[in-house]
Chain A
Amino acid sequence: MINELNTELYHPGEWRWQEGDRTVTRTSQWTAPGCHNGCGILVYTEDGKFVKAEGDPLSGWQGRLCARCLDMQEAVNHSDRLKYPLLRDGERGENKWKRISWDEAVQWLKDAHQDVCEEIRTYPGGIGPEGFVSLTGTGRNTMWQVGMLTRAVFGSCNAGSGFLSGDSCYQSRMFSCMLKAGDCWIQDTACQFPDRYDNPKYRIPEVVVLWGHEPLASNGDLFGHWYIDLIRRGTKFITIDPALTWLASKSELHLRPRVGTDSALAMTMLNVIMSEELYDKDFVEKWSYGFDELKEAVAEWTPEKGEEVTWVPADLITSAARMYADANPGQISWGVTVDMHVDGTELCFAINDLVAMCGNLDTPGGNVLLRYAYNTSKKYGAGLEFLSKEILDRRIGIDRNPILASGFSQAISTDMIVEQLESADPYPILMTFCHGTNPLSCTGCDTTRIYNAMMKARYNVVYDVFMTPTAVAVADLVLPAAMSVERKSFRSWWQPLRSITQCCDRYYESKGDDELIWYLGKEFNPDFFNKFERLEDFLTWLIQDEGNGVDYTYDELTEKVYDYWDWNMEYKKYEKGMLRTDGKPGFVTATGKYEFLCPVLDVIGTYTMPVFIEPYESPVRTPELLEDYPLLLTTGHRAPWFFHSEHRQLKYMRQFMEYPDCDISKDAAEKYGIAEGDLIWIESPRGKCKQIARIAPGIQPQTVRIRHGWWFPEQEGAAPNFYGTFEANCNNLTTIGVMGRIGFAAPVKGGLCKIYKVTPDNDCLVGKIYKEEGGFGGEHQLYWRS
């Protein structure tokens, strides 16, 4: 029989068994190395050492694995991994370190923390721990972890992201969902069911709109290749992307908007659907609020005006709007791109409105409302109970960040962290803790500014799996992190609740993220953490969530491996009274309806409905820049073999890409005398980087698409080379301090640039510009709001 395997070899229902000398453990993989998926794997170990991972054919992932997991042995057993706590033994940037014990590291942290607290208390209103700021990376299973580390361990109110301007990764998407629908949705690929597409409740979407999303390479939340399953089952695709992706080439329609004009596109689509009455009248009538106001707000967005702004032909916009509205069900799958324009939040409003209006909210095959499995409250907000009202009032930016002040989000604006590092006003940030983030290679926008800002902190700690450019450049203490297969943890992110089981010995003296918090907690906050004799007890406390979560222990989860939460397997929960705590039908919003017009946003002080804001730098807003910077920049192009700035030291991944390449059109190549394979400078008003030119068929002609997250672990780590990370860094070109009106979203993907060949005359080591010249000399934006 074709593709028939012997299921018994995969031990149905068991979580651990022996195959000869090898122990096999059934669990899920979730960082490090990082990604967003959390796939089901079988981990083979021998004498406590990692041998290999095999996809678990009996899991919801059906045995499939991407190249990164298939090469996990290279990551786990890599000789360059951090083995011990390291204390800086030279100047920052010299890459000279002294091995210390964990006891010494803890004492160093205690001394630093005490110094921070004492100095902060000399400032008006100073309490102490607020001078400590933690920074977290994405996809590194640092959710409740960073909250607990910051609040429960160090007693600080300041937890932020790794300097990704506007916190423009998922904040706009989540915020828009929460405000308008009261819950978050994800694209329905049947991942909430153990039997997946075979579940009788599920329906295959007729149409999927990929909005700024290349799921095959970016694996946002879900296993991207599930879309291949849908294509096979008859789903048609619409791709909205300035570049031709593989999925775009298979799509019925491909819309290539001018970078940063997606809101205009979305509002034009809304207008077409509303004026042609293609929407779901039953849903709009029974379950929504503010439809007429929205209709009025988008009325000006005729397809002709849409074309003028977005450069997408009017008839193509109309066709896309009709095709999505006519689909039953239709689905929209959005990527991080939608967060990465100044009007990203408002774009997310518009996309939400498309979903809801067309009757695809919480319907089979549409966009389904999910909560973290078993609705555990221990997420980014974890540990708030450890903070006093007084210290919460000391959060960075509390006086000018309405989202924070309103209590909607506990995420500190990363742009405001940078500004306060620079200004020390109203108090200095004396200590940073990078928890699984490498901002100088990856998320840190306007990176020279980040570098200079971080150098101002008295103490910088980096906790990671490898020595990174950020650690070399700014860290004083480096702590070794364990990898997923060495950790005890869990994942409740959507569905199912799943175990992350320790399968092999931890590498040398590394500690898992969860273990680190439990371990440091006993030192810094013994009253609380001494309740947990074992790490497993602490994890049980987290999954039980004080009566709100599961009713079993972490050890039992280890044996269950997966636990699919019933609640997540229901559709139209708003009809069934499943969303609201009062048990009434409706949504968790002020009106109880889906809100096309969201009055709460008016109270917060921002737009209540979708709006298009011309990009911060664009041919329309800043025509004066066009002479020098005639092309449109988009950053963050992904490849399937790397997760953000990770995996660069793995030769089995680098075999597919040695050096980052950027996509330019044939027109641009001819105009600027660039040939395929040339090393080129890409330059914006703030800085420049080098990548290899690829002439990309099908890209919007003025667009330059460049990669992110690159460094070269094989190169010299010490200054001024810094593992070469600043040479190819797309964030030399981006901004810090340019934000959407509520503080979320920033032009990470939008901007103007020019391109020209690297020649012996103009070549230079960019790291020297960082180390010796203090930056590129361009002007930094201090504070700009849409």
Chain B
Amino acid sequence: MTGNPHVRAQQLFAQSLVDGLASADQEWLAAHLRECDSCSRESASTRELLSALRAVPVAVPRDLAARTQMRVRLRAQQVAQASESNFLLWVVTGASWLLGVFSAPLVWRGFTWVGVQLNLPKPVLELGFVLWWAIPALIAVAVVIHQRTLNGIGARSSSSEARH
């Protein structure tokens, strides 16, 4: 801390506003401000400034809360619907995975029978087998992405209506 009492007073005053003061420092500052008009005026003006800052009234637009509440409720419905359809999607995905695992030996037997009948090489059969499982999954992913895109556009348009 500096040896100049006025500088020290200013530093302590700022510290009292920001961080609080130890009691010894509080006492020293109080005593200095009682004696020093300049520092006392300076601290008073800072206090006035801060009380003006606290007092600045801001008029919240009258219907802002109501509009926000409506928009939040709309969004809550969309989120709830999305989580319901997500749950269904997971159930269907799980069921189809189980079905796939258990039916894979039968499907592979069918593929080998067709391969033998048509005299196809093994790599072609393996590729066909992979595509047999992959194509429906890829179509399902494309449908889900498409639906989500449509839902996103719908959500944006309904929220922009609620915004105004």
**Do they bind each other?**
no
